[in-house]
Amino acid sequence: MARLFGTDGVRGLANQDITAELALDLSVAAAHVLAEVGEFNGHRPVAVVGRDPRASGEFLSAATMAGLASAGVDVRDAGVLPTPAIAYLVAEQRADLGAMLSASHNPMADNGIKFFARGGQKLADELEDAIEQRLGEQWQRPTGAGVGRITPLADGADRYVTHLLSVLPHRLDGLRIVLDAAHGAASVVAPQAFAEAGAEVTVIGNEPDGININDGFGSTHLDRLQAEVVKIGADFGLAFDGDADRCLAVDGTGTIVDGDQIMAILALRMKEQGVLRGDTLVATVMSNLGMIQALDSAGIKVVQTSVGDRYVLESMKNGGYSLGGEQSGHVVMLDHGTTGDGTLTGLMLASRVAETRRTLTELAAVMRHFPQVLINVKDVDKSRLDACMAVADAVRSAEAELGQTGRVLLRKSGTEPVIRVMVEAEDVDQAQLIAGRLVDVVKAELAL
């Protein structure tokens, strides 16, 4: 059977894959596993639970809290808040665990559950595996005063915003910023945080109704933000996803500033301030070659990982690094949080604009974008990719043709019979030509 926990918790279609029964059972199992490894020794356990605004989060968070309370855990219900806010509150409240109900940038019909350990840290893989193995087991239920109590954590948003502002290096006075909250969890905190930091804020995608999350707004739909920035003459705009753990930007001309550019800007600022540990940025293999070259010329090393924020975070912790992230705008700053934080990323980017008095266009120009062509080759036997000499020869030939001016990457999908072919080159026509040749070889050699 496939592992229930993915790279970002358990996720699927709400009320079919992700049911109230599953949320309750997962919560009970999580409480039992953490208790058995000694996380609750000597005290009554406490959990913080939050969700994004999607409708299914209402019954799923209720089921999650019911499961925890039935296992003797006192629950603090934080309501609708970003994922990084729940991670922060787990640490700030000195809670023993946390749970977030969200499917991030996925469509409204999806949902998921993610657990945090003490300190707001992601659960270790072995703990997730243990939770999965304990689903549905028979157990001795507490009664009377032994059951957990559920109380609201009414000031969670204010606590989180106070934290964000406390780490902001420069106020935002004089900046005119458009925020796109994706009709998601950012609606609760981002406008408040940016306004209190001094910015003049215009907000779109800020009317969550449980149904409209990520629907035509947010980091996966930037056209409305681009239009609004240009229309009102704003300095720039920032877009979040449904649970506000990622952030993308558009400059004053409406041009997209992606996660690679944002990371480059932040890395240079942190190196300048002496807080970029190891003078190193952690990014995935999908990050643009232009970013790597720009940072290399500034004396900043880029460590690359497999695609997925969990791999970025693992590499950061293992190497003791302070900044990492993905092209998608999922940026982790371990000095200030334990997970990707879109609101924090946006504030730090805005702070750099205010501090330097340079436009976002100027700051983003620190790197050039090499054209990337990505083609998904479907219905292939991905298990034979690594051993296929014909494909390996084609890749070597492509790499020799590109030299130092591009690169080739072939990746196997984790869930489908798909191989992703990515080619990066100085010229988009060259990238498309080489990618097409590689696709032909992959199809010919690995077709099912």
Q: Determine the Cα–Cα distance for residues 61 and 413; give it in Å rounded to an integer.
A: 31
pLDDT score at 3: 81
Laid out side by side, the sheet with 176-180 consists of 200-204, 176-180, 236-240, 247-251, 256-257
Q: Determine the Cα–Cα distance for residues 201 and 234; give it in Å rounded to an integer.
A: 9
Nearest alpha-carbon partner for 420 in 403, 435, 404: 435
Query: How many C-beta neighbours within 10 Å does residue 126 have?
Result: 10
Phi, psi of 162 (to 5 degrees): -60, -40
Torsional sign, CA 190, 192, 194, 200: positive
SS3 (DSSP) at 45: coil
Nearest alpha-carbon partner for 278 in 321, 336, 323, 334: 321
Phi, psi of 176 (to 5 degrees): -110, 115
For residue 190, the surrounding DSSP H or E stretch is: helix 186-196
Torsional sign, CA 390, 391, 396, 402: positive
Nearest alpha-carbon partner for 238 in 176, 326, 179, 175: 179
Nearest alpha-carbon partner for 239 in 205, 281, 275, 286: 205
Give residue 42's Cα distance to chain centre: 34
Q: How far is CA 373 from CA 127, 264, 325, 430, in A?
A: 38, 21, 21, 10
Q: How far is CA 61 from CA 15, 82, 187, in A?
A: 13, 14, 19
SS3 (DSSP) at 80: strand
The amino acid that residue 248 corresponds to is: L
The amino acid that residue 163 corresponds to is: H
CB 52 within 8 A of CB 101: yes
pLDDT score at 1: 56
Q: Determine the Cα–Cα distance for residues 363 and 351; give it in Å rounded to an integer.
A: 12
Q: Which residues of 44-68 are buried (b: 16+ CB within 10 A; e: fewer)?
A: ebbbbbbbbbbbbbebbbbbbbbbb
Collect all residues with Cβ–Cβ distance below 8 Å to 164 and sequence separation of at least 6: 189, 193, 343, 344, 347
Annotated catalytic residue 297 = no
For the chain, 448 residues long, give each residue's pLDDT as a single digit of tens: 568 888 789 999 999 999 999 999 999 999 999 999 888 988 999 999 999 999 999 999 999 999 999 999 999 999 999 999 999 999 999 999 999 999 999 999 999 999 999 999 999 889 999 999 999 899 999 999 999 999 999 999 999 999 999 999 999 999 999 999 999 999 999 999 999 999 999 999 999 999 999 999 999 999 999 999 999 999 999 999 999 999 999 999 999 999 999 999 999 999 999 999 999 999 999 999 999 999 999 999 999 998 888 899 999 999 999 999 999 999 999 999 999 999 999 999 999 999 999 999 999 999 999 999 999 999 999 999 999 999 999 999 999 999 888 999 998 887 688 999 999 998 999 999 999 999 999 999 999 8
Q: Determine the Cα–Cα distance for residues 394 and 437; give it in Å rounded to an integer.
A: 8
CB 241 within 8 A of CB 182: yes
Which of 104, 187, 287, 351 is an active site residue?
104
Q: Determine the Cα–Cα distance for residues 3 and 18; give it in Å rounded to an integer.
A: 14
Phi, psi of 346 (to 5 degrees): -65, -40
Checking 56-61 for CB contacts under 8 A at 24+ apart, the result is 56/14, 56/15, 56/18, 56/109, 56/111, 57/101, 57/102, 57/111, 58/210, 59/20, 60/14, 60/18, 60/20, 60/23, 60/101, 60/111, 60/113, 61/23, 61/99, 61/101
CB 380 within 8 A of CB 443: yes
